[in-house]
Amino acid sequence: MKEKAFTLFLLALFLFFLPLALFPLSPLGPLGLPPVYLYLFGAWGLVLLLSYLLFRKP
Amino acid sequence: MSPLFLLLGLFLYLGLLFLVALFGEGRGRAWAQSPWVYALSLAVYATAWTFFGSVGRAATQGATFLPVYLGPTLVLLLWPFLHGKLLELARLHRLTSWADYLFLRYGHAPLGFLTALFLVVGLLPYLALQLKAIAQAFLFLSGEEAPLADVALPTTLLLALFAILFGTRRLDPSERHEGLVLAVAFESVVKLLALLLVGGAALLALGNPFPKAMERPEFLPLLLPPEGASGYLAWVSLTVLSGLAFLFLPRQFHVSVVENVNPRHLALAAWAFPLYLLLINLPVVPLALLGRLHFPQENPDLYVLALAQEAGPGLALLAFLGGVSAATAMVIVESLALSILVSNHLLSPLLLRAKALGSLLLWRRLSILLVMLLAYLYFRLAGEAYALVGMGLISFVAVAQLAPAALLGLYWKGATWQGALAGLLGGMLLWAYTLFLPALARSGWLPGVFLEGPHPWLRPEGLLGLEGLDPVTHGFLASLLVNLALTLGVSLYTRREAPKEGRTGEVAALSALIGRVLGPEAEEGFQREAQGLPGPQAAARAEALLAGSVGPATARLLLLSVTERAPSEALVEEAARESREVRAYARALEEARRELAEAYERLKAQDQAKDELLAAVSHELKTPLTSVRALAEILEAHPDLPEEERRRFTGLLAKEAARLSRLVEEVLAYARLQAGLPLRLEPTSLKTLAEEALALAKPLALEKGVRMEVHLEEVQTLTDRDRVLQVLLNLLHNALRHAQSRVYLELGREGKEALFRVRDDGPGVPEALRPLVFEPFQSFAGGTGLGLYLARRLVESLGGRIFLEAGEGASFAFTLPLEVDRADPGGG
């Protein structure tokens, strides 16, 4: 499990530290919501889902 | 809203909190020990900063409020490496803080002392932040104009009372505080629900703020990622800083390590706690935008309350209580954790010198009060000049200074106490220079030089002339880099000290010491636990027990009086090695003695067998010899015997001589067998061998008038033909002697063996004697008693078996292997 946890950590690091300023993001995106927050909460949710799947059976 | 109404709400809420804590210490103990409560107790991380400050930061700086929550998410993904190891160490040594760990790892008391002192100073801004939040919220909702301090002081005293009541009932802080944990978990639920409800109600009442924000150009930066390299660097730094703070904040150590009842709870907390953080942050951006749209002149830290008030007094009170719950949970646990630090690393050594260790619990309670009053003082000095988040981040940078010494200590054997001390001192000085002193200067309590520095290159918020970084990112990077460099560099140039000598002591003396310091209950517990433990282990156990209550340095000093130096590991190892050698030598001696005894028994048995053989052979020889002698004397004394009588006597003489000859041959065969002559293996036709034996036995068969019947198959094998012939002759002579009319010889294959069978139609072997027929000197029909015994030994030496079959007459059979694999190549 340690290897998987570390891999997930690296994935989370990549998702959270992606330099979003380099992408042409507009202030408002799908559903009338800002893409930067959609991305950040989406990435966060994905990491949580994966950690739930990884850690649910200790 | 009426101040009285608010005060009533506040006191009712605190009363409810007391009840929850009491429930947790009584009937609700099982609840308090559940994994969900553990995960919720970690949410003590989300303070008034989260509840009020995040909205304030989102309203002014956009997405930069989020890294504070992404950091802990990242750290918890590494729990199998970090928290797992930490829990194991804490359980073994009863650690109550990172300062305990640093003392345990580096064995240097000033390190623990310095850490404790620094954390108290470093966390004062953070505690002050909570007091400010409660006071600010109270004054905003009540509409009063009184100074913030007027409300903050009674709040401070009330929270100190709560922490004293539920955190310092016993001396041992490493024991669980189920009531406190359940109250903290309850507060986590309250603040989450309150913020979600305020967010939902504000959205329903005021509508979606995002399209409106698009129409205001000044709002657009709030909806975009941080700009430029400095913005990105601040994002990354804040995430790392928050992760480190989550790991090193004393209250987080307390709830995640000290209050942990089961390490498996971490697996659930690793996703449930970040999920909590995600949920509590969902309404932050909408609230921030709605606040700026509808209350542009208001303090952004108060948007949550302003929007809740807009929705009605009920929701305003809920928002107020949500903020109060966020602040009180943090204050209670943090002040408790800091008081343990103070009492273990600052007070205990002093009280030990003053021989007043018995009053430690009182001093711990007083230290909670002292910490709270110091926080109040900081709030009075600097609190009103800073936003909530700004104050919290100064504390975050302070606790992050523990990271190099602690993490390198956990994973790098080369880290030394000199390196840890140098790093910690360097980090602390830079933290004070770049963040703490400028904060006081900005509040007007220190002169402006603390903001500008003595030289442009030494400007506290822009060292080496650095421009463009926000003060927190700058202070964090500068202090942590210097700290890390010093820890690594000094450790590389200093030698790691040999581990401290172990101590050993009598259980009785150790128990008495524990009784004196921790009371009779702890003494009895220790006696039960240490019964039968060796001295060094009992001393280590006692040290861990004492360290949990009075701190590791004082525990070590206390132990000196009742223990003595344990033998060094090298000495113990040498003794163990010698002991192992002696044991091996003793085992070898015992083995040799056993082999000698067995050889003696074998010799004795052989000697006895030889004596028995001699007696039997003498007896067997005596009978025919006597007959021969008597017959010879008769023939000599009576030369005139009739011819017929003389022939009868000479016939008898020949018969007895033949019997003597057979007896001597069998004895010689037995002697050869005993001498262990080697086998002479050669390819042999067993059918030819059987025919040869039949030819040799034929005279006896003719003499006895017995018919020989044969059934022989062609069988070839590698064997000693003389031995097989001797066995066949023995069996055939036996059969001929006992047969009435016929003897049957059979040779065939059975599996991987050749089978000989010799059967006669005589009376057979009596049932009672059947087990003895192959034993030596067991003669049932006047023979030597050696024939069948010899046959058995010879067959076995050839790798075969011989046995007596059931049925009428006597039927002896023996086998020989067709594939030769003998265990006894020497024969005999």
CATH number at residue B629: 1.10.287
User: What is the pLDDT, as a whole number, of residue B503?
Assistant: 65
- Residue B638: is its pLDDT beyond 80? yes
Q: Pairing between strand B503-504 and B802-805? A: unpaired
Return d(Cα B14, Cα B34) in angstroms, integer: 23
DSSP string, A1-58: -HHHHHHHHHHHHHHHT--GGGS---SS-GGG--HHHHHHHHHHHHHHHHHHHHHS--
- Residue B287: is its pLDDT beyond 90? yes
Higher pLDDT: B825 or B310? It is B310
Q: Do B434 and B323 share a domain, yes or no?
A: no
Supply the range of the domain harboring residue B591: 571-658
User: What is the pLDDT, as a whole number, of residue B572?
Assistant: 60
User: What is the pLDDT, as a whole number, of residue B826?
Assistant: 38
Q: How confident is the model at residue B797 (pLDDT cuts 50, 70, 90)?
A: confident
User: What is the pLDDT, as a whole number, of residue B246?
Assistant: 93
- Residue B824: is its pLDDT beyond 50? no
Return d(Cα B629, Cα B631) in angstroms, integer: 6
Q: Pairing between strand B707-712 and B742-750? A: parallel
User: What is the pLDDT, as a whole number, of residue B828?
Assistant: 36
pLDDT in tens, B516-551: 777 777 777 777 777 777 767 777 777 777 777 777
Q: What are phi and psi of B365, to 5 degrees?
A: -65, -45
CB spacing of B220 vs A27 below 8 angstroms: yes
Q: Residue B714: count other Cβ atoms within 10 Å of its Cβ.
A: 10
* Mean pLDDT computed over every residue of chain B: 83
CATH number, position B46: 1.20.1730.10
Q: Do B805 and B714 share a domain, yes or no?
A: yes
**Last residue of some domain: B345, B368, B400?**
B400
Return d(Cα B34, Cα B269) in angstroms, integer: 11
Assess if residue B457 is contained within a domain: yes
What are B817's two structure tokens? 């292997």
Among chain A residues, CA nearest to B238: A17
Question: Which residue bears the tokens 């390590």?
Answer: B257
User: What is the pLDDT, as a whole number, of residue B823?
Assistant: 43
Q: Do B741 and B648 share a domain, yes or no?
A: no
Return d(Cα B735, Cα B12) in angstroms, integer: 115
Beta bridge mates, B742: B707
CA B623 from chain centre, in angstroms, equals 82
Mean pLDDT in residue range B135-144: 81
User: What is the pLDDT, as a whole number, of residue B778?
Assistant: 66
CB spacing of A5 vs B80 below 8 angstroms: yes
User: What is the pLDDT, as a whole number, of residue B377?
Assistant: 86
CB of B681 within 8 A of CB of B719?
Answer: yes
Assess if residue B467 is contained within a domain: yes
Q: Do B49 and B165 share a domain, yes or no?
A: yes
B98-106 vs B403-411: helix axis angle to the nearest 10? Answer: 50
Judging contacts by C-beta atoms under 8 Å, the chain B residues touching residue A33 are 210
CB spacing of A19 vs B232 below 8 angstroms: yes
What are B509's two structure tokens? 């003396």
Return d(Cα B740, Cα B704) in angstroms, integer: 9
Considering only CA atoms, which of B255, B236, B242 is closest in space to residue B83?
B255
User: What is the pLDDT, as a whole number, of residue B339?
Assistant: 85
End-to-end CA distance of chain B: 115
Q: Which of B64, B68, B69, B70 to mutate to test the interface with A (most CBs of A within 10 A)?
A: B70
CB spacing of A6 vs B239 below 8 angstroms: no
Q: Where do the DSSP E strands lie in B699-800?
A: 707-712, 716-719, 742-750, 753-760
Q: Do B785 and B741 share a domain, yes or no?
A: yes
| d(CA B486, nearest CA chain A) in Å | 27
Considering only CA atoms, which of B773, B678, B685, B759 is closest in space to residue B724?
B685
CB of B681 within 8 A of CB of B720?
Answer: yes
The single-letter code of the amino acid at B507 is V
By residue count, chain B amounts to: 828
CATH number, position B734: 3.30.565.10
CB of B243 within 8 A of CB of B75?
Answer: yes
Total domains, chain B? 5
Q: Which of A37, A38, A56 to mutate to test the interface with B (most CBs of B within 10 A)?
A: A37
Task: Please return the burial class of B644, using the count of CB atoms within 10 Å of its CB with bins 0-12, 13-18 and 19+.
Answer: exposed
Q: Do B316 and B333 share a domain, yes or no?
A: yes
What are B76's two structure tokens? 């918890």
Assess if residue B670 is contained within a domain: no
Least trusted range by pLDDT, from B600-614, B618-632, B780-794: B780-794
User: What is the pLDDT, as a whole number, of residue B779?
Assistant: 65
Return d(Cα A27, Cα B577) in angstroms, integer: 75
pLDDT in tens, B367-407: 889 888 988 888 877 666 655 556 678 888 989 999 999 99
Q: Do B200 and B277 share a domain, yes or no?
A: yes
Q: Do B310 and B454 share a domain, yes or no?
A: no
Mean pLDDT in residue range B262-284: 92
Q: Which residues of B113-123 are buried (b: 16+ CB within 10 A; e: fewer)?
A: bbbbbbbbbbb
pLDDT in tens, B158-210: 888 878 877 776 666 556 788 889 999 999 999 999 999 999 999 998 888 88
Task: Please return the burial class of B355, using the count of CB atoms within 10 Å of its CB with bins 0-12, 13-18 and 19+.
Answer: exposed
Q: What are phi and psi of B122, to 5 degrees?
A: -65, -30
Q: What secondary structure letter does DSSP report for B716?
A: E
User: What is the pLDDT, as a whole number, of residue B279?
Assistant: 95
**Last residue of some domain: B375, B400, B425?**
B400
- Residue B793: is its pLDDT beyond 90? no
CB of B649 within 8 A of CB of B635?
Answer: yes
By residue count, chain A amounts to: 58
Q: Three-state SS across B209-229?
A: HHHHHHCCHHHHHHHCCCCHH
CB of B538 within 8 A of CB of B528?
Answer: no
User: What is the pLDDT, as a whole number, of residue B827?
Assistant: 37
pTM value is: 0.67
Among chain A residues, CA nearest to B74: A9
Q: Do B48 and B118 share a domain, yes or no?
A: yes
The single-letter code of the amino acid at B444 is G
Q: How confident is the model at residue B565 (pLDDT cuts 50, 70, 90)?
A: low
pLDDT in tens, B205-254: 888 888 888 888 888 888 888 888 888 999 999 999 999 999 999 999 99
Q: CB-CB: which of B66, B80, B227 is closest to A2?
A: B80
Mean pLDDT in residue range B100-124: 84
Return d(Cα B585, Cα B592) in angstroms, integer: 11
Q: Three-state SS across B523-576?
A: HHHHHHHHCCCCHHHHHHHHHHHHHHHHCHHHHHHHHHCCCEECCCHHHHHHHH
pLDDT above 90 coverage of chain B, percent: 24
Assess if residue B828 is contained within a domain: no
Assess if residue B824 is contained within a domain: no
User: What is the pLDDT, as a whole number, of residue B564?
Assistant: 67
Q: B231 touching A, CB under 8 A?
A: yes
| d(CA B217, nearest CA chain A) in Å | 10
Assess if residue B668 is contained within a domain: no
Assess if residue B373 is contained within a domain: yes
Q: A15 touching B, CB under 8 A?
A: no
Q: Do B203 and B109 share a domain, yes or no?
A: yes
- Residue B82: is its pLDDT beyond 90? no
Q: Do B215 and B104 share a domain, yes or no?
A: yes
Q: Do B93 and B233 share a domain, yes or no?
A: yes
Q: A11 touching B, CB under 8 A?
A: no
Higher pLDDT: B132 or B694? It is B694
Assess if residue B69 is contained within a domain: yes
What are B789's two structure tokens? 């015994």
Q: A24 touching B, CB under 8 A?
A: no
User: What is the pLDDT, as a whole number, of residue B229?
Assistant: 86
The single-letter code of the amino acid at A34 is P
Q: B73 touching A, CB under 8 A?
A: yes
Q: How confident is the model at residue A14 (pLDDT cuts 50, 70, 90)?
A: very high
Q: What is the ipTM of this complex?
A: 0.95
DSSP string, B482-523: HHHHHHHHHHHHSPPPPPPPPEE--HHHHHHHHHHHH-HHHH
- Residue B593: is its pLDDT beyond 80? yes
**Last residue of some domain: B519, B536, B564?**
B564
Residues 6+ apart with CB under 8 A from A23: none
Judging contacts by C-beta atoms under 8 Å, the chain A residues touching residue B207 are none
